[in-house]
Amino acid sequence: MTSLFSLSLALLSFLTTAVAASEFTFHEATIESIHLAFAQNRLTSRQLVDFYLDRIQTLNPSLRCVLEVNPDALHQADEADRLRAAAAGGNGTLGVLHGIPVLLKDSIGTDDKMNTTAGSYALLGARVARDAFVVERLRSAGAVILGKASMSEWYWLRSSEIPDGWCARGGQGLNPYVKSGNPCGSSSGSAIAVAANMVAVSLGTETDGSIICPADHNSVVGFKPTVGVTSRAGVIPLSPRQDSIGPISRTVSDAIHVLDAIVGFDPSDEATGEAAKFIPMGGYKQFLREDGLKGKRLGVVRKPFWDSFKESTAASTFDQHLLTLRNNGATIVDNLEIENIDIILNPSESGEMALLLAEFKHTLNEYLGGLSGSRVKSLAEVIAFNSNNPDLEKMEEYGQDGLIAAQMTNILDEEVVKAEHMMKKLSEEGFEKLMKENELDAMVTLGADAATILAIGGYPALTVPAGYDDNGMPYGICFGGLKGSEAKLIEIAYSFEQATRIRKPPLSFSFEFHNQYYE
């Protein structure tokens, strides 16, 4: 890992002096506060990137959430400063994320000096043909690509024995609040790094809970848009029917700034053509309204998600949050139930697992075929690589039963075709029926387990920090809606966040963990 930090970093004492002199606070900095500091000449992109690189160098050996930093990050920061100076002189305009460092999940392709590996050594050294579409959009918006975040290897599909947040390249990512706590996956590194102030914002991917769960467990905001609102082109695929790319951040407003930068039609991803109608003129920032809860009708689903919290203080806190939602103008319809919820939450019975395995094999083979310099060109060759490198990939500990199961599937199998129809039927008769019959703007649940309901139908979800249990472990409140309901979810989540302001950072300003589990 020594090569990870080969960049020259500014001295910490210099950064401390810079903070004192400018009164700009790096910790918990938002995109808006960073842009204000830029505009007032109290901060440069170079200083900001230096700060985050130093955080990574200091904290990553403990948290293991960053696989590699971008060796061009400082150059990008210097270029951002140059362009900002030129724009101040009337030469040029700046993008909405100009100079803002962004960390990418290791499955999001970049045509640069970094790797894109899904956490596996099998893809180390392989080159993508071009930046992923969302990376192109980030660069166009002026963002600095800081590096690649760790993840659950192969989206956790490699083996049911793999712990959330583990991959061969990075090891086990750790929750920054409770060392023994589950960081969740598969976008674990993206959430951990944002929570620990190692980057301003990050991108994750979700098929089923992979943004919502790590955001929930690491006390940050996670936004999974409707499938197709963001392009998946250039991203290592899992399931075209369910995959979505979205932001992870410390505030709702930061997530929306990133979302505005990455949405849009991409001819390389046909799902974006259908979803383009959902993207509002003027973008999503207009829906960051403190009074966004007024007139909203919210449905609370407790069963079965309540079971894991009923003995915790989270249960009473959730009821207080419902009161806050009411006091801010929302109508609460409580104790709703979703038809066939037990089947929906069981991936074997719902058909989700059968479809995931088959789609993974089919789309991964296509993706691998487009790489250059790759030692593997198919799922079968990934399996062979793992078998031939058991120590590197820790095969004795974790195996690869999931990959082998995927290899045995065929996208045209009758079981797979039936699975897709089954999931559509369950969504229509379950979540959609709940929303329409009760005339809801959003479904509200405690924790992250409702992500599956929203995943199998391609619906959007947004989670916001909601509290910490008796052990200090974070949990969130999840808002889910029908396809294209991003605007409503933003209004609801932002209004809730502004009324509660629950999030607390896990790290002290001295760079030391203040949680007892790290002492």
- Residues annotated as catalytic are 105, 186, 210
The order of strands in the sheet holding 221-224 is 66-69, 144-149, 101-105, 201-206, 244-249, 221-224, 461-468, 474-480, 442-446, 297-301, 331-336
3-state secondary structure 211-268: CHHHHHHCCCEEEECCCCCECCCCECCCCCCCCEEEEEECCHHHHHHHHHHHECCCCC
Say how far apart CA 327 and CA 318 lie, in whole Å. Answer: 14
- Alpha carbon distance 79, 193 (integer Å): 24
CA torsion sign, 387 to 389 to 391 to 392?
negative
The DSSP result for 179-199, as a single string, is: TTS---SSSHHHHHHHHTTSS
Give the closest residue to 298 by CA, choosing from 409, 195, 189, 446: 446
Burial of 111: CB neighbours in 10 Å, binned 0-12, 13-18, 19+: middle
Helix (H) or strand (E) holding 209: none
Cα 282 to Cα 286, 295, 484: the distances in Å are 7, 23, 15
The residues that bridge with 104 in the sheet, in sequence order, are 148, 203
User: Three-state SS for 334?
Assistant: strand
- Give 336's strand partners: 301
- Count, residues in the chain: 519
Measured CA to CA, the distance from residue 492 to residue 229 in angstroms comes to 19
The residue to which tokens 């088959």 are assigned: 358
Measured in degrees and rounded to the nearest 5, phi and psi for residue 226 equal -50, 140
For residues 251, 254, 258, 259, the Cα torsion angle rounded to the nearest 10 degrees is 60
